Every structure is written in structure tokens, then in C-alpha cells.
Structure 1
Amino acid sequence: MVREAGERFGSTFNERQADIFNAFISNSSLIDVPLGGYKFTWTDKWGSKMSKLDRFLVSESFYDAFPHTIGVILEKGTPDHRPILLKEHSVDYGPTPFRFFHSWFELDGFHKLIEDTWKCDGIVEANGLVSFKKKLQNLKRVIRDWIATKKHESTKMKQDHVLRLATIDAKIDNGIANDLDFENRRESIKVLGDIDRLEASDLAQKARIKWAMEGDENTSY
């Protein structure tokens, strides 16, 4: 199944089927791992028709556990399909780089954290450049710790609201839900929606960073 017109050559592109496939990937929160090597994974025996029919779809948790995962389209032998390989490409570039996510601006208290940390870090240096460097290093450390705490709180909140939602839905199924239950249900749905939106924003930014670092693997075709 192809996702866009550029993944098919010499045959008709079915936009409706592609939309259904893309919706499935999006609704399932799956990541389409970029494939390097070749542009197409299938070719007919005359070479007049080619498509990208094979791909790796992984979950967000898999991507977080193996952030350096890449896919490669290998040389084609006798079969009409090129084999694809999933591997983790890890290079030691030193300390983990500090990545700033846009979603952090939407977290309560983040702006104040930045302002207070910058003003009250207690760093005193005669050399302005040295002072600036140390202030940035301290700010990154404070942000990392603060974000780690927020992520833990968000995970706990998500678990609590998922459980509350399941409990309320069970009461609705049994016909014993009251007005407060429905109000709490709306609140839980909103909270979970906000959490999912921020998580999706971070995931999209991660994907853009990964794409920018690896480049467009199709340009070499």
C-alpha cells in the first residue's frame, strides 16, 4: 500500500485508498520509518512499474526506546520485491544534545521557570562569554529536571483519567451513571485530549529533526 503519488510509478495512484491507509497510521499513532537505499521496494519484471509497497510501521514507544532506528531498502535479487532491513544506527557523538520542544511553552509555569532561573542563578563571572555559557548550562539542567518531573506527572494524570473514564463508562453501560459522572467524563476526555495533543506535537517535532538529520533518502534515486 502506497501513501502518496510519489510512491508509485507507471501505474494508477488510488488517492482514496492512500487516504484510508494514512488515516489508519495516524489513528494508530504509528511511525513510518524512513527508508534509505532505494525509492521503490517493488518492481515488475520489465521495470515499467514500480511502487513502495513495503515499509516499517512502529509504535511511539518503540521509537522512544530505539531513537536511532533506520530502515534500508536492499539490493533486489530474483524476487520482484526488494528486501527491507530495520536496524539501529547509533553513533557516539558525546553528550546527548539538548532538544527544546515547542510544546513546553504550553506547560503552566514554564515561562516563569526560565525567567527566574536566568535572573537568580547566582553565577558571577567577570568574563561575559564565560558567564553566558555557564548560565545556559545551568538553565538546561534546570529545564531537564523540570521537564522530567512534568512528564512523570503527565503520565500519572493520563493513567488516572483513563481509569476514571473506564469506570464511568462501565456505570453508563449499567445504567447507573449520574450527572456528575457525565461531567467528570467530559473533563477526563478534555484532559486526555490535551495530553495526547502535546505528545503528538513532540512526536512530530522528533520526526522532523530525524528527517532533517538524515536528509531525503529519495533524492539519490
Structure 2
Amino acid sequence: MVNVYGLQSPSEKKKLWEDLTRIRYEKPGKWIVFGDFNVVRYPSERCHSKFCPSCASAFNKFIQDADLKEFNMGGEKFTFMSRREAKLSKLDRFLVCSGYLNSFPLSVVTAHPRELSNHSPITLQSAVADFGPIPFKLFNSWLLKEGFDQLVIDTWSRFKGFGTPDAYLAAKLKFLKNSIRKWRKEVSKKESEELDDSILLVKDLEK
């Protein structure tokens, strides 16, 4: 796995592509090359910014010479935004060798929404896995929310059950878990509405 940060200078980029191609064939195996390549492949991968044919040609030649393939990227069309000039580019990507592609043909690449950075996070999912039901989770941040302490106290004192001590405790914890889950659902709905409003505001500001 190679994490790439592309250089600015076209000559330095070209040398980087040559070095990566050489290393690629010196070390056989399944290769994943990813990161911010700081170059695009086609004019359609830029918006409001200048397309450099020579840089794109050198980059495409590197991909061909190193026998690398690129997945179609889902999600966001562009992965980088210059907030000052509102320039959009697809600079981040995953490139894999044929061996990887043959082993994981169902792989999916996704560019996620850009929120806190000028780059969109990108992920490569090589397989779809089902790990069964999601386990119950309790985050420390919930303990700081108003009303959570009282919810636990009221629920714990309200429970009525019977049986052996271990069965009684298990049932009491399950009762508390269901109460927390219901509380979390209500709080999560409110937080989601606030987050959606904030995201819409940010998008309006970017436009």
C-alpha cells in the first residue's frame, strides 16, 4: 500500500511516477496506490481551474506503465475544493494492480462529503461483510448530555422483575438499555435536524 502526496512541479511529478513504476516492479505483489496525486487525468476532472495536458499525459502514462487500474468513484464528483477561488478538482483516487482487481472484483471506491477539510475523504471497500446485529454502544459523550443521568436513575429504580440474581440483573440491564435506546433515538433525531441545517448553511455559503 502506497500513500501518495503528489508534488507541485511537473518535473518532480514525472520523477515520482518513474520512481513508483520502478518500485512497483521491484516488489511483486498486490498493489494499492492511493492519496492526493495533485493531478487530474481528464479535463472533466477540473472545474474553474486550468487543465494541464502534459501533466495529465504523464500521469496516464504512469498508470499504464505500472499496470494499474482505477475504480469508478461513487459519491462526490470532485475530491478537492480551493475555498478561496472555488476551484474543484478530482485529485484523490485509488489505483490498484490487476492482481488486486482479480482478488476483489466487487471493490467499491467512494468519495464522501467534504465537511471539515478542503479534501473529500475517500474509501476503498474490498468486500461486503455481514457481522450480524449491531451491538449496543454507549458513548462517553452521552454522559455529558442534559437529562441522561436522571434517565438512568429513574429507569433503574422503576424496574420490577424476578428470578435468580444473574437473570434479574440481565433483565434489569436490558430494561435500561431499551430505555437508553429510546432516549437516544429522540435525541439523535434532533441532532440530525440541527446537523442537516448546518450542512445546508455551509453549502449555501460555498455556492
Using structure 2 for the length normalisation, give the TM-score.
Answer: 0.42
Using structure 1 for the length normalisation, give the TM-score.
Answer: 0.39
Higher strand content, 1 or 2 = 2
Higher helix content, 1 or 2 = 1
Which has more radius of gyration?
A: 2
